[in-house]
A and B are shown apart, each in its own frame.
Chain A
């Protein structure tokens, strides 16, 4: 086999087919009609203007998380701690809003401060993971995982402790903020907030420009591909790793802030909604290329939103979207592995 564009595309189409086959098998095992399920997912994602805006609402935090992860992947780090970083962003945002909600300040100003607070929260949590890695020798995967648990615990404690609803604490989170403190919603839509959409789009463009067009991005790539050589070439390696953690933390914090100010309008126990892990999958699926992140994240968001109706219509669990997303990533990565092996064989025998 030769390393051509067509062989690459062939393998990706194969991966999608395999993912569909596996998902279809799962549906059969669950006793469901596969084609009906696929139909309702599609309808649930693009069937009406309202569901389309719901997809966009879900796309924003996912794209923010993916953008941040592209930076850490570029420098060769597995920032699995992004979930905790999103959570801390949400906590800091909630904290700022609680402090300011009765101050009588302009709501826009409060929202801006709340977003900045979210950025700070994500940044601090990411730098903690980075410091553990750089100065403590703790692998970022283990450090990040540990910090995720700490973040979740902190979140639950706040919801059931200091920030509990008047009267009785509840799994449904803290008391919602006043409507004046919601991110402004687009006319003709029930949930879409144009400001966050702009932030997410500007964010992914900035990440793309940074990785592909700047000296800093090239240095990140160099460190990610071979830290030893990068060091010999005069690039400070751990400083670049810390910088990429910081950038990812900013994006994660923003995602958390969006969840609080534009989606839930309060702090809930599962405030990160798994967007961090989903972002990892999107980044892997696009092969860490920023140019493809936005459409693939949109597709994943559509799958998520599209499957929300499944329990009601077909009595299927909405986690079906997860099955499809997971198998897709698995087969694409498997395809890369098999292809690389075949290419190596061809090279040896020729």
Chain B
């Protein structure tokens, strides 16, 4: 079936997640949809599969305009979506999960369904026992189950969102073989990914989105350099950085192994020194957050050790509160969910973050404290404003204002995500002030320019693999983009910066 999107636009508040996107995919095509985080890939796919409705624009199937208001509409029209996290029912039996969503009848016809299930799975050489429970399957098998289910429901267009995250190599090969077979039978497949090699191995065309806009398409043979440039934009000349005054080690990470829900990291080594900034680059979910939270004691490593201050303080296995007492601060990306307390005022936040002496709160003193911090950090808000009434930029300023002084190490997730230029510059100004006074910063960002502009050294994460620290001065956007997409990893060993 031919899928055609015409002028799709979708806004969330002031953010244009999809900006007038037009795309036509003929049958028997495996179309790769590429783009960095926040480029608009997921939004576009969710519009096609009925999770969102577009603000404007049309969807055409085989030249006919269709209206898709809900996921159930989508599957009725033959559009099936395989989500990044399997949308199945772990407590159910495979066969029951398979039957769910099928229309008709009060009583499910298990016998026929089981026959169809066996037939379909043998066609693709899958071996899932229909009588077992879904939660006993691997992520790859759950994906296979979802594909079978969607096919059985009559999908003729299959959307896959980052399907190769969290599955093993043989399962990935099997998935690719299945997709190629389906495409040869006339299926239209949209393959959303940030992994360049997967797209190159599988797709018959690749389309790149950036900041909500469709940048362009490419057919094989793919030129990685061009794709990276389309995804991340042209190289911006970097201003020369002031020479780093390297201080003593504040955090040493030795052979750390981490076990996340979907990702494992092995043997990370890193020495963080006073006054330096280390950027953690990579697509979201590649292990950066897991690593950063472990550096603060928020998640515990399964192997290796952490030490603070020139190996003096062994911190492995300590809680976050012990790290905090030693001068480590953690700033989560989800400001209102993990860092600030909705319903409480700025003043109350400042009271909580200051050392609390005495029993009763000194209202006058705390109001003065709040006022001075608000003007010092240029927060647009009053002492009695609740934090959720502030804009994102002002929430981030408030978070900075809440940090104690002095600190040894600041760990930040996405310090400027969703912020305007002015706030971005302001926030980095404040962070760099801290560096000048000897605080080290480790931050995660999916913005490559931010990584290159502010870091002294960079660690790139890809599917749980971590590069040795790379000197930011010698890195280019293109090279960083290739590493993030999983390229050039075999030649890394020789060029690590002074680790």
Contact = CB atoms under 8 A, between A and B. Distances in A.
Nearest to A348: B13
B341 A229 contact: yes
B338 A233 contact: no
The residue in B348, B351, B352, B361 that gathers the most chain A C-beta atoms within 10 A of its C-beta is B352
Interface residues of A, number: 20
Contacts of A228: 337-338
Interface string A220-264: 011001101111111110000000000000000000000000000
A218 B352 contact: yes
Given A221-B344, A226-B342, A231 B351 contact: no
B356 interface: yes
B341 A225 contact: yes
B361 A218 contact: yes
A234 B348 CA distance: 14
A339 B320 CA distance: 39
Given A231-B320, A233-B353, A235-B352, A215 B359 contact: yes
A122 B99 CA distance: 51
Interface in B91-106: none
A209 B358 CA distance: 14
A229 B358 contact: no
Nearest to A234: B324
Contacts of A311: none
A221 B353 CA distance: 14
Given A213-B361, A225-B342, A232 B352 contact: no
A221 B351 CA distance: 13
Contact of A222 (B324, B332, B341, B361): B341
A218 B360 contact: no
B330 A232 contact: yes
B76 interface: no
A209 B343 CA distance: 19
B106 to A, nearest CB: 34
A221 B359 CA distance: 16
B339 A219 contact: no
A214 interface: yes
Contacts of B344: 218, 221-222, 225
A218 B344 CA distance: 9
A341 B181 CA distance: 49
Contacts of A229: 337-341
A226 B337 contact: yes
Contacts of A230: 341, 352
Contacts of B340: 226, 229
A216 B357 CA distance: 11
A219 B352 contact: yes
Contacts of B338: 228-229, 232
Contacts of B330: 232
Nearest to B324: A234
A233 B341 CA distance: 10
Which of A209, A213, A229 gathers most chain B CB within 10 Å? A229
B402 interface: yes
B352 A225 contact: no
B321 interface: yes
B56 to A, nearest CB: 18
A311 to B, nearest CB: 45
A30 to B, nearest CB: 41
Contacts of B351: 215, 218
A233 B402 contact: yes
Contacts of B343: 221, 225
Interface in A173-231: 209, 213-216, 218-219, 221-222, 225-226, 228-231
Nearest to B331: A232
Contacts of A226: 337, 340-342
Contacts of B359: 214-216
Nearest to B348: A218
B334 to A, nearest CB: 9
A147 B348 CA distance: 36
B97 to A, nearest CB: 27
A236 B353 CA distance: 13
B356 A215 contact: yes
B209 to A, nearest CB: 27
Nearest to A213: B360
Contact of B321 (A222, A225, A236): A236
B165 to A, nearest CB: 25
A16 B337 CA distance: 35
B325 to A, nearest CB: 8
Contacts of B342: 225-226
B227 to A, nearest CB: 38
B307 to A, nearest CB: 22
Interface string B375-397: 00000000000000000000000
Contacts of A215: 351, 356, 358-361
Contacts of A233: 339, 341, 349, 352-353, 402
B246 to A, nearest CB: 29
Contacts of B348: 218, 221-222
Contacts of A209: 360
A216 B330 CA distance: 23
B341 A214 contact: no
B339 A232 contact: yes
A110 B324 CA distance: 49
Contacts of B402: 233
Interface-centre pick from B330, B332, B360 (highest chain A CB count, 10 A): B360
Contacts of A213: 360-361
Nearest to B337: A228
A10 B329 CA distance: 45
B408 to A, nearest CB: 15
A186 to B, nearest CB: 34
A214 B352 contact: no
Nearest to B321: A234
A338 to B, nearest CB: 20
B420 to A, nearest CB: 21
Nearest to B338: A228
A336 to B, nearest CB: 14
B332 to A, nearest CB: 6
Contacts of A221: 341, 343-344, 348
A213 B343 CA distance: 17
B272 to A, nearest CB: 20
Given A221-B343, A233-B402, A234-B353, 10 more contacts: A209-B360, A215-B351, A218-B344, A218-B352, A225-B342, A229-B338, A232-B338, A232-B339, A233-B339, A233-B349
15 contacts: A209-B360, A213-B360, A213-B361, A215-B359, A218-B361, A221-B348, A222-B341, A222-B348, A225-B342, A229-B337, A231-B320, A233-B341, A233-B352, A233-B402, A234-B324
7 smallest beta-carbon distances between A and B, as pairs: A215-B356, A226-B341, A225-B343, A228-B338, A225-B341, A229-B341, A222-B341
